[in-house]
């Protein structure tokens, strides 16, 4: 039975990836674009799972990492002629990683609620700077820019049609998932899980806890920044709303709905939440947040392990 | 196959297919008038993205009243070119990501022919690429950001109402010549406040006045006392650039600190929009503002068009649950934006999205005459930047009511275009 588990996992994985590859070919344009967006939010949710699910640290700073990734890419796309995808990607990752290193340095000495509050404060600082520094960031209006081509100089250059963009995003999300999966299963990932289970004991064994936590925050911030770059590419704008802490709250909700500590769960949570919101908003126009909220409360009470945990339990029955 | 055959029961699959084929062929090959008539039976699908939830929900609901009012009037009068108007509303949640998604839905799934709406400037800007990629005319109806018709102007974007540079040009002579030479500007410290500050500072200086200082207050600051205590010195007037709760906080706290007694107060019309007068109370007394529309009927604004607009809007606001609100510039600009689109459709014989180029050509340089459709007066939608210039109203608040001081014709509010279409 145990030998069959990897086979079942990889078969399921291949089927899901194949369905996602085919989705823009069969879905109407709006829904095809929606799936791409879900993948991006899913990547952001997955990045925060490194902290919430694997290290036991609830971060409200992910909006800052996501937003800085977005702004980093935006600056480069506005400044380079012709706009370069790879430079935008590098700038976004660099901005997010620098912010994550800064936040990690100060916040990882703290635990639980104190860590959460510190990350929230840092995200608000970034938000206020971006919101008021209009000359550089466009302030409340943000930045708008053109989408670059998917190109490798001298080899090929491809226009980012919705379909090409979808496959590009899918490739990055799949690679990110595989990489994060490998990391969480590595000895480093085991130490993170050990910190989550019993920080004092992990320290007693001799692991430098703060250093591990710092790397976890930076890793998480880096992937959040990557999601920010992808969002900027898809939507051609960067806005301060994405740096506001409310976005971090939504990411925590994606994790809780999908199932923390699973990597796939948060993607599932993001998909469920966004689809639910989209579906209900069509029937209840401005009142749809009421049923969304009620459903979220019901899920927390009746499915505390999230959708994935519930599915696992149901399958094992 | 005839009706007689049907009566005889001689209907075979082959005959049905043959008849269907003939019918379909006839429809395709039918002369233009018949196809035109068929097309006419379809309503125009007009999308509108508005903030119905989130921070701007109150303003969005007010804006929607104006838009719905225009659509109902159009349909009651037989539609446009004989076709009814179907309004498809999407809630942008006051957030750019949701706004963008909802506009994608309007354009790709609901297949709207054109769009009228947009309240928050950041959402208007975020949605520009969607309209451009899908070649849909976007008649914005509230967004104030200057760049929408300057550095970020776009072939598909039209703003059929005023913006800060034109308001400043219309208002500055009054400020400098009738209120005082030396001004201090306090503003909401974000893009709209900053760009409006720059526009007024330029015009005040250009009219022989001076700006002795400026003070930005972060958006949403509840306790403004630390900021207000910095406003001191020798100047004649305090110019305010705030809206919503920020203007209420500034006016209330500034009055308590004695700023109203010390200086004359003037500012953007957003400080004293009709919907927030109850919250401002008598502390807004003496404030002088500029706006494209205020609910006042002093001559020359004592027109039957403005009376009719006001009466119907008040009724509709009540029905929308906004009991004590008088119509404001958001109701007005949505109402007139829809009517401007109607005029463009009529002029271009626009039938659907495929005719967007024709519609753009018709809207460029569109002259709107004072009428029931444009109760606030004559206006021009300029070809060079798709920016409208409208009659500006300078008013003073006395005994809780607007009193007209002056009206400035659109020709005197025109500023040079600063747009290059891609």
Share of residues in chain B with pLDDT > 70 (%): 90
Does B227 lie at the interface with A, CB-CB under 8 angstroms?
Answer: no
Does B91 lie at the interface with A, CB-CB under 8 angstroms?
Answer: yes
- Contacts A131 to B, Cβ<8 Å: 190, 218-219
- The reported pLDDT for the residue numbered A3 is 61
Does B215 lie at the interface with A, CB-CB under 8 angstroms?
Answer: no
Q: Torsion angle, CA of B289/B58/A34/B353, rounded to 10 degrees?
A: -60
B314-362 pLDDT tens trace? 999 998 887 767 888 999 999 999 999 999 999 999 999 999 999 999 9
Indicate the angle between helix axes A162-185 and A187-197, nearest 10 degrees.
70
State yes or no: pLDDT of A294 exceeds 80: yes
The two three-digit tokens of residue B43, written as one number: 């309503």
Question: Are the CB atoms for B188 and B169 separated by under 8 Å?
Answer: no
Residue A2 — very low, low, confident or very high, per pLDDT cuts 50/70/90?
Answer: low
Q: Which residues contact A252 (CB under 8 A, 6 or more apart)?
A: A48, A52, A58, A60
Does A139 lie at the interface with B, CB-CB under 8 angstroms?
Answer: yes
- Contacts A141 to B, Cβ<8 Å: 121-122, 125, 145, 147, 191
Does A138 lie at the interface with B, CB-CB under 8 angstroms?
Answer: yes
Question: Are the CB atoms for B380 and B367 separated by under 8 Å?
Answer: yes
CB atoms A140 and B192 under 8 Å: yes
CB atoms B122 and A236 under 8 Å: no
**Nearest CA-CA partner of A88 in A215, A243, A231, A242:** A231
State yes or no: pLDDT of B25 exceeds 90: no
DSSP helix, strand, coil percent of chain A (3-state; round to 5): 80, 5, 15
Does A250 lie at the interface with B, CB-CB under 8 angstroms?
Answer: no
A51-91 pLDDT tens trace? 998 888 888 888 999 999 999 999 999 888 888 899 999 99
**Nearest CA-CA partner of A183 in A109, A263, A115:** A263
CB nearest B104 (choices: A30, A140, A141): A30
Whether ipTM tops 0.90, in short, is no
CB atoms B190 and A138 under 8 Å: no
Strands B137-140 and B157-158: parallel
β-bridge partners, B49: B90
Can you tell me the distance from the alpha carbon of A102 to that of A122, in angstroms, rounded to the nearest whole number?
A: 9
Can you tell me the distance from the alpha carbon of A298 to that of A300, in angstroms, rounded to the nearest whole number?
A: 6
Does A242 lie at the interface with B, CB-CB under 8 angstroms?
Answer: yes
Q: Which of A52-56, A311-315, B381-385 has the lowest mean pLDDT?
A: A311-315
Query: If one looks up domain B165-291+393-406 in CATH, what number appears?
Result: 3.40.50.2300
- Contacts A237 to B, Cβ<8 Å: 96, 100, 125-126, 129
Q: Tokens 């823009």, residue?
A: A24
Distances (CA, A) of B175 to A174, B194, B236, B284: 61, 19, 10, 17
CB atoms A139 and B194 under 8 Å: yes
Can you tell me the distance from the alpha carbon of B217 to that of B186, in angstroms, rounded to the nearest whole number?
A: 7
- The reported pLDDT for the residue numbered B345 is 96
Can you tell me the distance from the alpha carbon of A96 to that of A66, in angstroms, rounded to the nearest whole number?
A: 7
Q: Is residue A242 helix, strand or coil?
A: helix
B50-70 pLDDT tens trace? 998 887 888 888 899 999 999
Topology (CATH level 3) of domain B40-162+303-390: Rossmann fold (3.40.50)
State yes or no: pLDDT of A269 exceeds 70: yes
CB atoms A285 and B108 under 8 Å: no
CB nearest A139 (choices: B108, B128, B191): B191
Q: Which of A157-171, A289-303, B385-399 has the lowest mean pLDDT?
A: A289-303
Question: In this structure, what are the phi and psi dihedrals at residue B314, rounded to the nearest 5 degrees?
Answer: -60, -45
Radius of gyration of chain B measured on its C-alpha atoms: 25
Does B191 lie at the interface with A, CB-CB under 8 angstroms?
Answer: yes
Query: If one looks up domain A4-316 in CATH, what number appears?
Result: 1.10.3470
pTM of the shown model:
0.80
Selected for mutation to probe chain B from A24, A135, A141 (highest B CB count within 10 Å) is A141
**Pick the residue with more confidence: B420 or B17?**
B420
Give CA angle at A139 (A137, A145), nearest 5°. Answer: 50
CB atoms A241 and B97 under 8 Å: yes
Does B147 lie at the interface with A, CB-CB under 8 angstroms?
Answer: yes
CB atoms A132 and B97 under 8 Å: no
State yes or no: pLDDT of B370 exceeds 70: yes
Does B52 lie at the interface with A, CB-CB under 8 angstroms?
Answer: yes
Locate the domains of chain A by residue range: 4-316
Distance from CA of B102 to the nearest CA of A (A): 9
Does A132 lie at the interface with B, CB-CB under 8 angstroms?
Answer: yes
CB atoms B189 and A142 under 8 Å: no
CB atoms A34 and B101 under 8 Å: yes
- Contacts A239 to B, Cβ<8 Å: 96-97, 122, 126
- The reported pLDDT for the residue numbered B66 is 95
Can you tell me the distance from the alpha carbon of B296 to that of B171, in angstroms, rounded to the nearest whole number?
A: 18
The two three-digit tokens of residue B282, written as one number: 């008598």
Does A281 lie at the interface with B, CB-CB under 8 angstroms?
Answer: yes
CB atoms A141 and B89 under 8 Å: no
CB atoms B129 and A242 under 8 Å: no
Can you tell me the distance from the alpha carbon of A98 to that of B62, in angstroms, rounded to the nearest whole number?
A: 43
Question: Are the CB atoms for B236 and B263 separated by under 8 Å?
Answer: yes
Does A316 lie at the interface with B, CB-CB under 8 angstroms?
Answer: no
């Amino acid at each position: 039975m145990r030998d069959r588990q990897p086979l079942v996992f990889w078969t399921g994985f291949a089927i899901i990836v194949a369905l996602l590859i085919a989705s823009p070919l069969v879905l109407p344009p709006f829904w095809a674009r929606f799936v791409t967006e879900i993948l991006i939010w899913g990547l952001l949710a997955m990045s925060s799972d490194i902290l919430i699910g694997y290290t036991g640290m609830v971060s409200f700073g992910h909006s800052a990492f996501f937003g800085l990734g977005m702004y980093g890419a935006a600056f480069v796309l506005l400044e380079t002629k012709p706009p370069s995808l790879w430079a935008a990607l590098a700038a976004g990752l660099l901005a997010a990683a620098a912010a994550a290193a800064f936040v990690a340095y100060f916040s990882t000495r703290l635990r639980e609620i104190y860590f959460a509050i510190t990350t929230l404060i840092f995200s608000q600082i970034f938000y206020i700077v971006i919101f008021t520094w209009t000359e550089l960031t466009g302030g409340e209006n943000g930045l708008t820019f053109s989408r670059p081509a998917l190109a490798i100089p001298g080899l090929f250059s491809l226009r980012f049609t919705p379909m090409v963009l979808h496959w590009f995003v899918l490739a990055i999300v799949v690679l990110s998932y595989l990489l994060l999966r490998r990391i969480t299963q590595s000895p480093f990932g085991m130490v993170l899980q050990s910190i989550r289970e019993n920080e004092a004991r992990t320290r007693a064994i001799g692991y430098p806890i703060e250093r591990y936590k710092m790397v976890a925050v930076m890793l998480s911030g880096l992937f959040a920044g990557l999601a920010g770059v992808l969002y900027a590419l898809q939507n051609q704008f960067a806005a301060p709303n994405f740096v506001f802490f409310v976005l971090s709250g939504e990411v925590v909700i994606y994790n809780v709905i999908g199932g923390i500590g699973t990597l796939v769960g948060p993607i599932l949570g993001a998909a469920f939440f966004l689809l639910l919101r989209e579906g209900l908003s069509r029937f209840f126009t401005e009142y749809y947040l009421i049923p969304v909220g009620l459903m979220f409360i019901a899920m927390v009470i009746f499915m505390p392990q999230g959708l994935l945990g519930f599915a696992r339990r149901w399958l094992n029955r | 196959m005839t009706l007689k055959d049907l009566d005889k029961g001689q209907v075979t699959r082959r005959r049905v297919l043959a008849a269907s084929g003939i019918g379909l062929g006839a429809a395709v090959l039918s002369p233009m008038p018949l196809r035109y008539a068929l097309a006419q039976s379809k309503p125009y699908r007009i999308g509108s993205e508005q903030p119905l939830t989130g921070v701007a929900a109150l303003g969005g609901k007010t804006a929607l009243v104006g838009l719905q009012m225009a659509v109902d009037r159009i349909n009651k009068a037989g539609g446009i070119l004989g076709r009814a108007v179907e309004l498809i509303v999407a809630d942008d949640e006051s957030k750019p990501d949701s706004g963008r998604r909802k506009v994608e839905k309007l354009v790709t799934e609901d297949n709207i022919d054109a769009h009228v709406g947009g309240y928050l400037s950041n959402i208007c800007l975020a949605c520009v690429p969607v309209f451009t990629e899908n070649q849909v005319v976007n008649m914005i109806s509230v967004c104030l950001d200057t760049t929408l018709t300057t550095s970020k102007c776009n072939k598909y974007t039209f703003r059929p109402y005023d913006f800060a540079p034109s308001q400043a040009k219309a208002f500055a002579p009054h400020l400098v010549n009738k209120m005082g030479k030396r001004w201090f500007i306090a503003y909401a410290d974000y893009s709209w406040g900053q760009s409006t500050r720059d526009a007024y500072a330029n015009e005040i200086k250009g009219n022989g006045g001076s700006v002795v200082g400026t003070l930005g207050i972060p958006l949403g600051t509840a306790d403004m006392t630390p900021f207000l205590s910095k406003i001191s010195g020798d100047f004649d007037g305090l110019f305010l650039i705030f809206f919503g709760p920020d203007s209420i906080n500034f006016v209330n706290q500034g009055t308590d600190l004695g700023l109203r007694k010390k200086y004359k107060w003037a500012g953007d019309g957003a400080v004293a929009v009709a919907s927030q007068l109850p919250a401002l109370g008598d502390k807004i007394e003496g404030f002088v503002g500029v706006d494209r529309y205020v609910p006042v009927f002093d001559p020359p604004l004592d027109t039957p068009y403005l009376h009719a607009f006001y009466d119907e809007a008040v009724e509709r606001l009540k029905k929308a649950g906004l009991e004590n609100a008088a119509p404001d510039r958001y109701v007005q600009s949505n109402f007139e934006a829809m009517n401007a689109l109607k005029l463009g459709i009529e002029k271009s014989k626009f039938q659907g999205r495929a005719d967007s180029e024709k519609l753009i050509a018709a809207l460029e340089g569109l002259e709107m005459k004072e009428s029931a459709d444009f109760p606030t007066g004559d206006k021009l939608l300029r070809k060079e930047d798709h920016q409208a210039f409208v009659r500006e109203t300078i008013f003073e608040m006395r005994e809780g009511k607007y009193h007209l001081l002056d009206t400035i014709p659109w020709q005197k509010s025109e500023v040079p275009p600063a747009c290059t279409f891609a």
